[in-house]
Amino acid sequence: MASIGGPLALAAFYFPGAAGGALRSAGLVAALGAILYGLPLVVWLRYSEEIASAGGLAAFVEAAVGRRIALAQAAIWSFSYFLYLPYTITDVVYDDLAKIFPGIHPWRWVLELALPLAIVALVLAGLTPVLWTLLLSAALQLALLLALGAVELGHVGAPSPVHTPHVHDVTRGAAGTALLFVCGSLPLFLAGEAAGGRATVRRSLVGAGVVVGAYLVFAAWPLAAVADELRDRDLPGYAIAQSYAGRGFGVAVGLVGAISVAGLIVAEYLALSRLVFAVLRVPVRRALAWIAVPFVLADVVSLANPEQFYEKLLKPSLVALFVSQAIVFLTFPRFRARIGKLTAVDVAVAAGATGLVGWGIYNVLFGGGAAT
């Protein structure tokens, strides 16, 4: 669940922007987005029927088309997340927390350095403390999502699921929402360590997708009737919570939403360390320490111009992420053919998943969107 957003940030921060002009049908868009996420999810699940490896997505590609292309995929994926880690810290500190706590403005540079150091310390403490931390965070996020949805319903009532939607807007909104889920592949890099192996991984991916999708639909549905002046804020869920239930609830939603984004950074960090181990055969603890160096140094560099740092890194990171996933999807039919299980459904799912991330690339480069 921490890999999908996390859930509270997904619903409270990112979904209104992803839904775009279809917010008057927010419940429908959220439901369709969660269903569209099933396309990449099915690909990952079918690969996982045969493969559970620290190499994650790269191991899938290697099984399909060989090591050379797998290394290229791993390099593109790693490039994306090596950018993703530091610029997301900048976003949390200079955008999210600064809006929730305006008084921290003179101290943002301290947080910009302290937060990555805290994350490094957490991951170096071992996998068990990390997973317990993410579990507690996920439970708190789901509780606040329920509370936020209930507060919205209490103020605006239950809107119609469909408000004369424009098909084009709904399609774009659903695709943008589905792309918010795409980091849900991060747990695949822990597959080699999971008790129960492939079966555990597959159950976990499905369970997380269903739970987060259901909670998103519940919290998103009332947004159709929320005033535009609240939905259009930079942190819509925080603004809505504060307006409808007071400063305390607003801070809870905003702060835990920021924590949920930090949880995604932790999941990315873990996945990177396992990929480094799989490709270079570097012990995991050493890989964690290696990753810490560029991670912390990049955030030091960001202090020169935090806003430009975020804006400059966002697009190349997202394009690389979608390209790396496209390689996984495009090679999937080849993998199924190699094991003698290729079906028309496999080809259709691969085409749909490739089309989804292809639209993401187009939207980032030419549509002005960065919906993840």
CB contact set of 120 (below 8 Å; sequence gap of 6+): 288, 292, 295, 296
Which domain range does residue 21 map to?
7-305
The per-residue pLDDT for range 299-349, each reduced to its tens digit, is 999 999 998 999 999 999 999 999 999 999 999 999 999 999 999 999 999
Q: Look at residue 163 in the predicted model and tell me its pLDDT.
A: 60
Is 359 within a domain? Answer: no
pLDDT at residue 196, rounded to an integer: 83
Number of domains making up the chain: 1
In the predicted structure, residue 86 carries a pLDDT above the cut 50: yes
Q: How confident is the model at residue 20 (pLDDT cuts 50, 70, 90)?
A: confident
To the nearest whole number, what is the mean pLDDT of the chain? 93
pLDDT digits (tens, 9 = 90+) for 129-140: 999 999 999 999
* Amino acid residing at 137: S
> Does residue 372 have a pLDDT over 50?
no
- Tell me, yes or no, whether 154 lies in a domain: yes
In a domain, 207, yes or no: yes
Half-sphere exposure of 32 (CA within 13 A, CB side): 21
Evaluate the CA torsion angle 262, 263, 265, 266 in order and state its sign: positive
| CATH code, domain carrying 90 | 1.20.1740.10
Percent of the chain having pLDDT more than 70?
A: 97
Q: Do 58 and 272 meet the contact criterion of CB atoms below 8 Å apart?
A: no
Residue 158 lies in a domain: yes
Q: Is residue 346 part of a domain?
A: no
| Tens-digit pLDDT profile for residues 287-302 | 999 999 999 999 999 9
Give the model's pLDDT for residue 160. 67
Is it the case that residue 23 has pLDDT exceeding 60?
yes
The token pair that represents 328 in the structure block:
């996984």
For residue 335, being part of any structural domain is answered with no
**Residues 120-160: pLDDT tens digits?**
999 999 999 999 999 999 999 999 999 999 999 999 887 76
Residue 331, in any domain of the structure: no
